[in-house]
A = this chain, B = another copy of it.
Amino acid sequence: MYFPQFIPYSFIEKEASHVEGFSPELALVTIGGGKELEEKLVVRPTSETIVNHMFTQWIHSYRDLPLKINQWVNVTRWEMRTKPFVRTLEFLWQEGHTGHATEEEAEEEALQMIEVYRKFAVEEAAIPVIVGRKSKLETFAGAVRTYTIEAMMGDRKALQAGTSHNLGQNFSRAFNTQFLDSQGEQQYIWQTSWAISTRMVGGIIMTHGDDMGLMLPPRLAPIQVVIIPIWKTDAEKETVLAAATSVHDQLKKEGVRTKVDASEQKTPGWKFNFWEMKGVPLRIEIGPRDVANKTVVVSRRDIPGKSGKMFGISMDPSQLHSFVIAKLQEVQDNLFNIAVSFRDSNIEDVSSFEDLKAAIAAGKWARGPWAGSDADEARIKEETGATIRCFPFEQPSHSGRCFMTQNAAKEVAIFAKSY
């Protein structure tokens, strides 16, 4: 679907915590077609309100439920300090909105979508994420519960990489979105919303990149293999280009996203650096000697500070193809494993506020039993800059006493500085 991006200000005001959360971030259109508008228009920061305005007109009976919609759109949230991809005044995302007949169904939907995001982050982007529930302070403005996937970037800051909200009946009560249930009773619908954005692009860059540039996980890399032909004489050029084209066509036929960089303005060395910076997972070099030997040189771009060069790989189509497929999978797995090790070696288990302060000061994440109040959480943010990233779904069997309050804690929380 596609909803209008201008939302009447009165829509935003209907759900009390929603307007409270979003009003500092709004861009407002006050002039249209040369005239001052009677009602200000909000440039969509998210679409729950305008979606509910329509849901109220579309939903009448339990037969109309569940209703699930999605849109791919731009959204605007006023930011004073922007950072490319991860905190921008305007960004692109998909936002899903659903309406259900029961609380259970809505909860199931919210959980299913955070699992979709987890799977995408792990399997496609090779980003290990911690899935969990947000604290009350960090819950989406208007939601009952927010689920999140949290990733550790190369600078050890946390990135909230996707969220899924159980909205309960907050918006349906505000917008009077009701349905006739199978017993003939009017009921408010139960809702969810969920989104993942261009921020994920930043997550990929900052999880896998190094000082040489990007490292792209093969599953997502637009170019998986770049082929650099190397020649000096015109005679060499002919045979080397023919071999490069042949290797390219073979790999392409097998579904490998491949590019030959045969431009003559740049040196091979320049091209190596350029495609390394672009994060292409595998590079194939073919020179005159390779043509003679029917081999190629393959390099992988997933080992920080190492060249990853493999010499004398056979040019034979079936052998080279299997080799490339296997190496792409290895790079994918290796990027994920490096990110897991890095993350796990940078999470400290803490059992006191002092521990937490030390962990955060050292640039790490802190994990510990938590039963504090909103005020306790705010104090930690005030003193350390860290916030509760989530209560992870994966909990230790026994969590003990809250490191802050010494109250019995039902679960551990993860604290970190974030983008």
Contacts and interface: CB of A to CB of B under 8 A. Distances in A.
A2 B33 contact: no
B32 A78 contact: yes
A32 B78 CA distance: 6
A31 B33 contact: no
Given A6-B89, A74-B73, A28 B24 contact: no
Interface centre among A4, A26, A27 (most CB of B within 10 A): A27
A34 B30 contact: no
Interface in A23-64: 23-34, 40-41, 43
A27 B27 contact: no
A123 interface: no
Interface in A360-374: none
> What 9 A-B pairs come out closest when comparing CB atoms?
A33-B78, A28-B31, A30-B30, A32-B78, A27-B32, A27-B29, A29-B29, A24-B34, A4-B90
Nearest to A35: B78
Nearest to A198: B2
A5 interface: yes
B33 A30 contact: no
A92 interface: yes
Contacts of A26: 31-34
Nearest to A33: B78
A224 to B, nearest CB: 22
Contacts of A79: 33
Given A5-B90, A43-B43, A33 B24 contact: yes
B2 A92 contact: yes
A43 B24 contact: no
Given A5-B90, A89-B6, A43 B29 contact: yes
A80 interface: yes
A352 B90 CA distance: 54
Interface centre among A40, A73, A74, A80 (most CB of B within 10 A): A74
A279 B73 CA distance: 27
Contacts of A2: 92
Interface in A73-125: 73-74, 76, 78-80, 89-90, 92
Contacts of A43: 29, 43
Given A4-B89, A28-B30, A32-B78, 16 more contacts: A4-B90, A5-B74, A6-B27, A6-B90, A23-B34, A24-B34, A25-B33, A26-B34, A27-B33, A27-B41, A28-B32, A29-B30, A30-B31, A33-B79, A43-B43, A74-B74
